[in-house]
Amino acid sequence: MADTTRADTLERSRGRLRRQQALTAAGLAGPATFLLFLLLLGPTTAVVALSFTDWQFGAKSLNLIGLGNYAEMFGDRVFWRSLRNTLVYVAITVPTSVLLGLGFALLIEARSSAQGFYRTVYFLPVTATLIAMAVVWEFLFHPNIGLVNLLLGLVGIRGGHWLNNPATALYALAAIGVWQSLGFNVVLFLAGLKSVPRDLYDAAAVDGADSAWERFRRVTWPMLGPTLMFVLVIMAIRSFQVFDTVAVLTSGGPNKSTEVLLYTMYTEGFTYFRSGYASAITVVFLAFVLTLTLLQARILDRRVHYT
């Protein structure tokens, strides 16, 4: 009987302790949870709610219109053009910046001296203000005095109106995106290369991997799996969020050839003040990016080797 009483008392004490720990954890996490909802979940919920209304910025009233904004959006040629341009931009910038970043990281890692200098030089574009750099690139792409056309002229290639030609404007913006993201990728890959154990290269050499390509294929590439997955996911998200260079250099032109989803959302919401329609575009944009990112992470995670 006494043992049963002691067991019940011990169990009640453990229950009180668990409740106290739960309350303490809730109290510590409460401020962060509140800020998370206030700064992220709250605005997202508001955008989703506004996407089902006809609200215009500054209006004192609104009406629920259901899926009206979505029906209009899916029938809008501008939306489909901006979606296509966004996908083309992502398809160019993500693989190009990742491959170039990996290549430059391998070259820097191979040089035992001045690694810090090269790391700083490549990372400088990331720290620079993209609006200011966009103005510099506007001069570089100038058809008459631009450095790009001058360099092409030295090798006998005739340059063009890169930002004013519908056939080349989007590719010019993609080149700027690659330049701006390259240093970030280089630094990440350098960190990944530093984490590869040196003894794995010694073991690979014993197994006959004498060439640089064999060491890269058998050791470096598999061990860079987590870094590669992180870089690809981050680059995909950043590429989908392209806006600054479009707004500064082309304003979506010429002939909507550089109109991207975020710029369409911006013009609809802050130029035409169609906040409900702009919210619907934002919801589709967020859903598209989230789905693509989850699929990308799920597919890549199966091929990643974690140490």
- Tens of pLDDT along the chain (307 residues)? 555 676 667 777 787 888 888 888 888 888 888 887 788 788 888 889 999 998 888 788 888 898 999 999 999 999 999 999 999 999 999 999 999 999 888 888 876 666 677 777 777 777 777 778 888 888 888 888 888 888 888 888 887 889 999 999 999 999 999 998 888 898 889 888 888 888 887 787 777 777 778 888 888 888 888 888 889 888 988 899 899 899 989 989 888 999 999 999 999 998 888 999 999 999 999 888 888 878 877 776 666 655 5
Q: Which two tokens stand for residue 157?
A: 């290639």
Query: What pLDDT sits at residue 192?
Result: 87
Give CA 9 to chain center in angstroms. 55
Query: What pLDDT sits at residue 10?
Result: 73
Residues present in the chain in total = 307
Give CA 243 to chain center in angstroms. 12
Determine if the peptide bond prior to 226 is cis (ω within 30°): no
Helical axes 77-110 vs 169-194, angle rounded to 10°: 40
**Buried b / exposed e along 262-281 (16+ C-beta atoms within 10 A):** bbbbbbbbeeeebbbbbbbb
